[in-house]
Amino acid sequence: MKLKHVSLSVMMMGATTVAMASGYHFGTQSVSAQSTANASAAEAANASTIFYNAAGMTKLEGTNFSGALNLVAPNARYSEASATYPTQAVTPVNSTVKGSTSGKITEDLVVVPQLYMTHQLNDQVTVGLGIYVPFASSTEYQRDSVLRYNLNSTELTTIDINPTVAFKLNDQHSVAVGVIAQHAEATLRQYANFGYALAGGNLALPGSVAGNGAADGYADVEGDDWGFGYNLAWMWDINDNTRVGVNYRSEIEHTLEGSAKWTKPAAGYAALNAAGFKDSEGAKVDITTPEALSLHGMHKLNSKTNLFADVTWTKHSRFDKALLVYENAKTGQGNTTYLTPAWKDTYKLSLGGSYQYTEPLQLRAGIAYDKSPVPNDDRRLATLPDNDRIWLSFGGKYDLNKQSSIDFAYSYIKIKDAKANVNGTCVAQGQTVCVSSQTKGTVNYKSSAQILGVQYNHRF
């Protein structure tokens, strides 16, 4: 079936970029939190507490709105890339993949919105709604990159709609529970080395091309799905100066179903159709976005200074493998492309603070260390060149009046240099047959990102 777009997805299609946090997390869902490197989950200063600790909604009087806009400038570049075709007895020519060996694989600028609203029903109960981007990642290589056969482009965007209710148990304890409706969209481009097959290789098809790299084709694959999960939160005011909280967000399962459209060389077009590479066919892939558990705290050092801390554990091992399943079997290759990243569970540690510089102006800053789930260079995916990263953030809040304020933040994210040993062979994926051009390669990465955010808060 064809990909179905909903109006909400169209509104937030800009929310796709290289992942700003480890794995494929977008990285920040609030500008007030961004200004402390996401250390201030226990603060509950505005409606965006729905994401970080929804129990904090009980700290907000009346009706509250927060609307955030992030301008993201990612910079992920690859260099010194090389790749080889598999050893072949029939056409041993052109064993080295030719093409671009360096370039930028991310967009220059991406705009990402986040929206939140809370309403106090009475002294004990507050309800809220959040619409935000929890996961987003996008990379694209040049179409002639030497790495093109090991997925040339991937893009994942998720949007959460999160109604939540919070209960104030007493003056010290609050809890919250919510439902998460998550819409996920994914696209990818997979290149195929049809030249070898058409010259008499493993598919033994007739043709007049010269062999490896002489007749490339590719599939554009797209799919979407709705999945459902939940969030739980608890907040404890130990005393007037110290507060701690726990926040849990569940895993969400998706079966992304859509279509794959094959572009094929004119030479051997009919033979490739007969071999299962149809102009258009169904395709699907299963993914599970990971659960996360956060423990955080806030301490009022004095009347002007607050200190924040957060540690978040994420079950990234949910992304142990991924299977792209085509509707039609390909002669000699089956119908599945396998990815085996074997990610590990990770943690993120954030520390931050705020200082009330003047009556309307509060200054904020933070630092975070975010551990990558990639276990080693052999498991690093070319389309998700993730590694450990450091967040450096600063910003502030300015009170326009008693009802309105503006948060602003700047973050620089330094991602540790990385290397990938890319292996698309079936054997490397633990399979005897797979839809793959069977190429191997190596590549180096340098990555960083900058985020500029602004957020408007209003209490009605």
- Residue 211: the pLDDT is 76
Residue 60, CA distances (Å) to 64, 161, 166, 197, 458 in order: 7, 20, 11, 65, 11
Kindly provide the residue ranges of all beta strands, DSSP E only, lying in 210-249, ordered along the sequence: 216-237, 242-249
| Confidence at residue 208, expressed as pLDDT on a 0 to 100 scale | 52
Enumerate the H helices of 178-248 as residue ranges: 194-198
Contact 436, 340 (CB under 8 A): no
- pLDDT value, residue 88: 55
Handedness of CA 17, 20, 21, 27 (dihedral sign): negative
Are the CB atoms for 106 and 99 separated by under 8 Å? no
pLDDT of res. 196: 78
Q: How does strand 103-104 pair with strand 63-84?
A: antiparallel
Q: What does each C-alpha distance from 308 to 46, 351, 421, 433 come to in angstroms?
A: 16, 6, 39, 52
Buried b (16+ CB within 10 A) or exposed e, 370-395: bbbbbeeeebbbbbbbbbebebebbb
SS3 at position 377:
helix
> Residue-wise pLDDT tens for the chain (460 aa)?
233 333 333 333 344 445 566 777 888 999 999 999 999 999 999 999 999 999 999 999 999 999 999 999 999 999 999 999 886 544 445 588 999 999 999 988 889 999 999 999 999 999 999 999 998 888 999 999 999 998 899 999 999 999 999 999 999 999 999 999 999 999 999 999 988 778 765 544 544 566 788 889 999 999 999 999 999 999 999 999 999 999 999 999 999 999 999 999 988 898 899 999 999 999 999 999 999 999 999 999 999 999 999 999 999 999 999 999 999 999 989 999 999 999 999 999 999 999 999 999 999 999 999 999 999 999 999 998 999 999 999 999 999 999 999 999 999 999 999 999 999 889 888 999 999 998 999 999 999 999 999 999 999 9
pLDDT of 404-437, one tens digit each? 999 999 999 999 999 999 998 898 889 999 999 9
Q: How much is the pLDDT for 27?
A: 83
- Contact between 150 and 429 under an 8 Å Cβ cutoff? The reply is no
Q: Report how far residue 325's alpha carbon sits from residue 329's, in angstroms, rounded to the nearest whole number.
A: 9
What pLDDT is stored for residue 214 in this prediction? 83
CA angle 205, 210, 215 (to 5 degrees): 70
Amino acid at 218: Y
User: Do strands 63-84 and 110-120 pair parallel, antiparallel, or not at all (unpaired)?
Assistant: antiparallel
Domains, the chain, in order of start with CATH, read 7-459 (2.40.160.60)
Q: Is 3 exposed, middle or buried (0-12, 13-18, 19+ CB in 10 A)?
A: middle
Residue 113 has a pLDDT of 94
